[in-house]
Amino acid sequence: MKLEEAKTQFIQVWGTLGTDWGINRTMAQIHAVLLLSPKPLSMDQLMEELSISRGNVNMNLRELIAWGLVRREIIPGERREYFVGEKDIWEVAKCVMRERKKRELEPLKKTIDKLVKVTPDPTSEEYQTFINVTKDIQKIADGVDTLLTRLTQVERSWFVEKIVHLFTTKKKRK
């Protein structure tokens, strides 16, 4: 396969992945283009590459910067701004984990913590079910929180090489 075709396919697959993850397609595609570019790119180059409007590039770049996946780069002597994507995919993954933990897990935990305090009524079956489910969610959410915190702390080499042994060790305890 020729490089150009492969790049197109990559941009497409990364866009689909983004959509699956609730990230808009264009945002993911801009990220893909930056991932594959050895050099920083300007807004005009991104508009050209993806055939999209300036406003669209601008908004999605801002969002990518907020996620920590892209940063501005000023090239001395150049008037216009350039953008660089984080190329270490483990760093990208950690960014996404941190961001989603902050935006989704933490609000969930806050709400659930309130809900488990609902006025008790031990005779009601409805109450029992409610309290069981919410307390269960609370426990799992804590587990996910711990997992994400730990994962965002480990090095890429650890993740890539050691994760296979993660559960095997524990299983021996049985």
Partner DNA sequence: CATAATTTTCAAAAAATATTGAAAGTTTTG
Partner DNA sequence: CAAAACTTTCAATATTTTTTGAAAATTATG
Interface ranges with DNA (CB under 7 A):
19, 24-27, 42-44, 51-56, 58-62, 79-81
DSSP assignment of 134-164 equals: HHHHHHHHHHHHHHHHHHTTS-HHHHHHHGG
Q: Work out the angle between the directed axes of helices 25-36 and 3-20 (0-180°, nearest 10).
A: 140
Nearer to a copy of itself by C-beta: 79 or 168? Answer: 168
Pairing of strands 70-73, 41-42: unpaired
Task: Confirm if 33 and 50 have CB atoms less than 8 A apart.
Answer: yes
Nearer to a copy of itself by C-beta: 13 or 74? Answer: 13
Nearer to a copy of itself by C-beta: 38 or 77? Answer: 38
Identify the residue whose tokens are 């216009």: 80
Could you say whether residue 150 binds a copy of itself (CB under 8 A)?
yes
Cβ of residue 6: shortest distance to DNA, in angstroms? 22
**Displacement of CA 9 from its chain's centroid (Å):** 21
53 contact, one of a copy of itself, DNA, none, CB 5-8 Å limit per kind: DNA
* Nearest partner of 104 among 17, 16, 22, 9, judged by Cα: 22
Could you say whether residue 75 binds a copy of itself (CB under 8 A)?
no
100 contact, one of DNA, a copy of itself, none, CB 5-8 Å limit per kind: a copy of itself
Question: Which tokens sit at 99?
Answer: 């961001």
State the CB neighbour count (10 A cutoff) for residue 98: 16
Could you say whether residue 154 binds a copy of itself (CB under 8 A)?
yes
Residues making contact with a copy of itself (CB under 8 A):
1-3, 6-7, 9-10, 13, 16-17, 19-22, 35-38, 87-90, 93, 100, 103-104, 107-108, 111-112, 114-115, 117-119, 121, 124-130, 132-134, 136-137, 139-140, 142-144, 146-147, 150, 153-154, 156, 158-160, 162-164, 166-167, 169-170
